């Protein structure tokens, strides 16, 4: 009799522990140790979750997989959830074999010790634009390679500029004058993004860096002059007051709808622009404050990294895979299909010849810098001060001179 009751207790207890055990072991399927060519498949995580990018990237991944004789299991997540996904996988030790990261995040993740240095596995950043090597290196070691990059420049509506008799601006004064002239009821001269996110800081960098500003010291006249440009454009009514809430996608929507004659934006908007063929546009490099300056724009684009793996053979295979993605062939294929720019300097001239519409962006990339090049993992803090200063200045809560001091809590 008693045994029955004990059995019941035991049954209860074991089921509970089984449930717990099931939870614990979930997703921890450790792959059997393999060596050399026995690596048959790699897992990949990236954030190209929308077409056409999703399938265009898939093509490149597939061709490298067949070159290496492996199969791939790819997972894509929305861009803004990638880091959270990576953190979750890191704590459950289930990071993929090949991981894509936005280039300003590479150093932050490398600093945690999650990534394998690529130099030890036969990869190098030779021939790659210095700005990109800076972004994907941490403490002198290379942790990722980006096959293609992008940046931002000035799009303009050719028809509107022609009607107003305005030439594409080359200097800030010309930009302000052109924007003013192009503004009329129901239409702004220029659209850009000045919202309170890292995207808002990114859009501000061409003006700030070109004018000699530097994120290591934001309390300089060069930086506040750049902010004054944004303030002038908004306060003169040449740009909407809503820029403080707009994303880059919103700026593109305004441009496509004919509500803005110019916009600061990147080449990833080109597929969307091509859907409205009646809007004719061209791109020029971002204007300079003084004619003798060189344009310095920020480098965008994603790097492919290899998370540390106990299975050495698999880690090496993943590195080989990243190397293949960064072959000349794949760089050009991805650049052409996805309106991005190859990161190897030797390929740039050939690329512009084949894709003339990317000329201005390619020009910008040659002299571009990466966001994390100087500050490394401290960049997010500076970026935060930048976007908060922009918000303070554009809402009139601080002057362009005081905004950075106020935003940094001084």
Residue 394 binding another protein, by CB under 8 A: yes
CA nearest 147: which of 318, 367, 341?
A: 341
Q: What's the CA gap between 405 and 46, in Å, rounded?
A: 37
**Per-residue contact flags (x/-) with another protein for residues 201 to 220, judged by CB under 8 A:** --------------------
Residue 112 binding another protein, by CB under 8 A: yes
| Count, residues in the chain | 410
Q: What's the CA gap between 221 and 399, in Å, rounded?
A: 12
Give the nearer residue to another protein in terms of CB position, either 43 or 89: 89
Task: Please report, as residue ranges, which positions from 241 to 300 form the binding site for another protein (by CB under 8 A).
Answer: 241-242, 244-245, 259
Q: What's the CA gap between 393 and 388, in Å, rounded?
A: 9
Give the nearer residue to another protein in terms of CB position, either 286 or 387: 387
**How many Cβ atoms from other residues are within 10 Å of residue 282's Cβ?**
14
Using CB under 8 A, which of the segments 57-65, 104-112, 121-129, 267-275 binds another protein?
A: 104-112
Q: What's the CA gap between 373 and 86, in Å, rounded?
A: 23
Give the nearer residue to another protein in terms of CB position, either 7 or 33: 7
How many chain residues are in contact with another protein, going by CB under 8 A?
Answer: 43
Task: Please report, as residue ranges, which positions from 363 to 382 form the binding site for another protein (by CB under 8 A).
Answer: 380
Kindly tell me which residue out of 11, 33, 272, 346 binds another protein, with binding defined by CB under 8 A: 11
Give the nearer residue to another protein in terms of CB position, either 33 or 308: 308
CA nearest 95: which of 122, 68, 80, 115?
A: 115
- The number of helices, as runs of H, and strands, as runs of E, in the chain is 18, 13
Give the nearer residue to another protein in terms of CB position, either 171 or 242: 242
Residue 24 binding another protein, by CB under 8 A: no
Give the nearer residue to another protein in terms of CB position, either 246 or 281: 246
Least distance (Å) from another protein to the CB of residue 5? 5
Kindly tell me which residue out of 240, 330, 362, 372 binds another protein, with binding defined by CB under 8 A: 240
Using CB under 8 A, which of the segments 25-33, 41-49, 189-197, 334-342 binds another protein?
A: 189-197
Residue 22 binding another protein, by CB under 8 A: yes
Give the nearer residue to another protein in terms of CB position, either 102 or 320: 102
CA nearest 306: which of 30, 44, 126, 41?
A: 44
Residue 21 binding another protein, by CB under 8 A: no
Residue 392 binding another protein, by CB under 8 A: yes
Residue 25 binding another protein, by CB under 8 A: no
Tell me if 206 sits within 8 A of 297, measured CB to CB.
yes
Least distance (Å) from another protein to the CB of residue 291? 34
Least distance (Å) from another protein to the CB of residue 40? 27
Kindly tell me which residue out of 24, 291, 356, 409 binds another protein, with binding defined by CB under 8 A: 409
Give the nearer residue to another protein in terms of CB position, either 20 or 33: 20
CA nearest 68: which of 385, 271, 264, 324?
A: 324
Helical spans, DSSP H, in 26-75: 53-68
> Residue 368 in 3-state DSSP?
coil
> Residue 189 in 3-state DSSP?
strand
Give Cβ neighbours of residue 144 (< 8 Å, ≥ 6 apart): 101, 103, 106, 110, 115, 118, 136, 303, 304, 305, 322
Give Cβ neighbours of residue 379 (< 8 Å, ≥ 6 apart): 104, 107, 215, 371, 372
φ, ψ at 253 (rounded to 5°): -60, -40
Residues that bind another protein (CB under 8 A): 1, 4-5, 7-9, 11-12, 15-16, 18-19, 22, 83-84, 87-88, 90-91, 108-109, 111-114, 195-197, 240-242, 244-245, 259, 380, 384, 388, 391-392, 394-395, 397, 409
């Amino acid at each position: 009799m008693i045994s029955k009751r004990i059995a019941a207790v035991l049954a209860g207890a074991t089921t509970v522990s089984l449930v717990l055990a099931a939870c614990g072991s979930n997703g921890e399927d450790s792959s059997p140790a393999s060596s050399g060519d026995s690596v048959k498949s790699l897992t990949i995580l990236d954030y190209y979750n929308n077409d056409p990018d999703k399938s265009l990237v898939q093509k490149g991944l597939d061709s490298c997989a067949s070159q290496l004789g492996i199969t791939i299991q790819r997972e894509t997540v929305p861009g803004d959830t990638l880091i959270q996904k990576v953190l979750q996988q890191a704590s459950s030790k289930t990071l993929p074999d090949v991981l894509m990261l936005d280039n300003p995040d590479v150093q932050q993740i490398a600093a945690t010790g999650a990534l394998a240095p690529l130099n030890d596995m036969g990869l190098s950043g030779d021939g790659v634009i210095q700005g990109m090597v800076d972004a994907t290196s941490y403490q002198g070691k290379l942790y990722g390679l980006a096959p293609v990059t992008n940046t931002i420049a000035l799009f303009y509506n050719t028809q509107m500029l022609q009607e107003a008799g305005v030439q594409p601006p080359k200097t800030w004064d010309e930009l302000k004058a052109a924007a003013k002239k192009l503004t009329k009821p129901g239409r702004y001269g220029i659209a850009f993004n000045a919202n309170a996110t890292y995207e808002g800081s990114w859009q501000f960098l061409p003006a700030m860096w070109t004018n000699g500003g530097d994120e290591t010291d934001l309390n300089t006249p060069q930086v506040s002059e750049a902010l004054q440009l944004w303030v002038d454009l908004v306060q003169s009514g040449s740009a909407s007051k809503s820029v403080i809430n707009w994303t880059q996608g919103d700026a593109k929507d305004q441009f496509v709808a004919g509500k803005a004659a110019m916009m600061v934006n990147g080449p990833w908007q080109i597929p969307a622009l091509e859907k409205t063929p009646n809007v004719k546009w061209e791109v020029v490099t971002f204007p300079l404050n003084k004619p003798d300056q060189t344009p310095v724009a920020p480098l965008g684009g994603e790097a492919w990294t290899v998370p540390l793996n106990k299975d050495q053979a698999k880690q090496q295979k993943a590195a080989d895979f990243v190397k293949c993605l960064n072959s000349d062939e794949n760089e050009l294929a991805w650049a052409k299909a996805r309106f991005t720019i190859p990161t190897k300097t030797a390929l740039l001239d050939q690329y512009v010849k084949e894709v003339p519409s990317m000329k201005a962006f390619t020009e910008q990339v040659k002299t571009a810098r990466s966001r994390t090049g100087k500050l490394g993992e401290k960049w997010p803090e500076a970026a935060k001060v930048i976007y908060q200063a922009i918000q303070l200045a554009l809402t009139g809560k601080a002057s362009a001179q005081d905004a950075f001091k106020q935003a940094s809590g001084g």
